[in-house]
Structure 1
């Protein structure tokens, strides 16, 4: 998981980055100039779920407002040294999703980000069911027909992108950006194809219905689809 990190204090930056990496997040440090750039680019597929972790600075509310004014729906979490109810209220009113007092463990931060992300996609619970597939948002491997399907870290990241948007076509570019970061000129097609093939094989082998959950939509990307009711009924009778 990539996470944009704004922490202008050099002495604090390294510690925060180390904590994020310990929770298998990939921090992308940004500077104040970032918020004066073309923030609308964050609305490209694959970027809208990438969270922001912003230090409490005098420009905090303006930075949050700039993101929201540009139409960015990315999760925004504020980290501050001391609890201040008035400042916290101002940040939340400007569009922040959460406001935390540091230090905070990376594992808790990751869970908070996952909670915000899944709710933004209409999933309030810690898991989502698509046919025989149960996908978890807390890092656990998915279950297919009651069987745990082991996925690598990158396979899990790609799988989550697909299942969060089940029924919708997700482009290869969006998947690549979500897993590897911004890459306009990277030869991502082959890399994503290989990972999709591995994930599809693992899910298909475990699915009792015989349904192929990951569809290739030629020229557009991939879609995680729900099996027909008769296929589910057949699977239940096996």
Structure 2
């Protein structure tokens, strides 16, 4: 999970980055100038799920407003040193999704981000059922016909993009940007085809029905769906 991190205090930045990396998140430090740049580029498909973690600062409300005014729907979480109900309310009213008091463990922060992300895609619960597949949004491997299917870290990142958009076509470019967009070492986009093939094989072989859950929509991308495009939210109808 890539995460934009604004923490102007150098003594806090390194420790926070180490904590985020411990939960397999990929923090990308940004500076004040970032908010004066072309924020509309964040609206490209594949970028909208990358969260912002902003340290409380005199300009935090302006930073949140700049992101939302540019049309960015990315999750925004504000970190503050002390609880302050008035400032928290102002941040939430400006467009932040959450407001937390530090120190906070990365595992909790990741869960908060996942909750915001899945709700933005219309998923209220921590998992969804698509035919024989139970897919989780908290990092767990999926279950297919009752058995756990092991995915590598990269496979899981790609599978997550398909699951968040279950029943809809997701372009290869969108998946690539979501998984590799901030990587210093970007592979050729054909790598997505390779990973899709591996994931498809694992899911289909584990499914009792043998159904091909990941459909290649030529010229458009991929779609993750059950045989009848049945998408049921786990834990309810």
Question: TM-score scaled to structure 1, two decimals?
Answer: 0.93
Matched, 1:200 2:200: yes
Q: Please list every run of 5 or more consecutive structure 2 residues that lacks an aligned counterpart in the other structure.
A: 230-237
Quote how far apart the aligned CAs of 1:99 are: 0.3
Question: What are the within-5 Å matches in structure 2 for residues 150-229 of structure 1?
Answer: 150-182=150-182, 188-228=188-228
Work out whether residues 173 and 188 of structure 1, in 8 Å CA contact, stay in contact via their aligned partners in 2.
Answer: no
Matched, 1:88 2:114: no
Question: What are the within-5 Å matches in structure 2 for residues 47-62 of structure 1?
Answer: 47-62=47-62
Q: Deviations over 1:59-92 (max 9, x none)?
A: 0000001111111110000001111111111000
For residues 30 and 136 of structure 1, what CA distance do their matches in structure 2 show?
30
Structure 2 residue aligned with 1:101: 101
For residues 8 and 186 of structure 1, what CA distance do their matches in structure 2 show?
28
Matched, 1:111 2:111: yes
Q: Deviations over 1:6-34 (max 9, x none)?
A: 00111110011000000100000001111
Could you say what secondary structure the match of 1:12 adopts? Answer: helix
Quote how far apart the aligned CAs of 1:5 are: 0.1
Question: What are the within-5 Å matches in structure 2 for residues 124-143 of structure 1?
Answer: 124-143=124-143
For residues 228 and 82 of structure 1, what CA distance do their matches in structure 2 show?
50
For residues 128 and 188 of structure 2, what CA distance do their matches in structure 1 show?
28
Alignment length, in residue pairs? 229
Quote how far apart the aligned CAs of 1:186 are: 5.1
Greater per-residue helix proportion: 1
Runs of 4+ residues deviating >3 angstroms: 185-188
Structure 2 residue aligned with 1:236: none
Cα RMSD after superposing both structures: 1.6
Work out whether residues 4 and 50 of structure 2, in 8 Å CA contact, stay in contact via their aligned partners in 1.
Answer: yes
Work out whether residues 2 and 182 of structure 2, in 8 Å CA contact, stay in contact via their aligned partners in 1.
Answer: no
For residues 211 and 6 of structure 1, what CA distance do their matches in structure 2 show?
44
For residues 188 and 215 of structure 1, what CA distance do their matches in structure 2 show?
21
For residues 181 and 75 of structure 1, what CA distance do their matches in structure 2 show?
17
Q: Deviations over 1:88-129 (max 9, x none)?
A: 110000000000010000011000000100010111111011
Question: TM-score scaled to structure 2, two decimals?
Answer: 0.93
Structure 1 residue aligned with 2:232: none
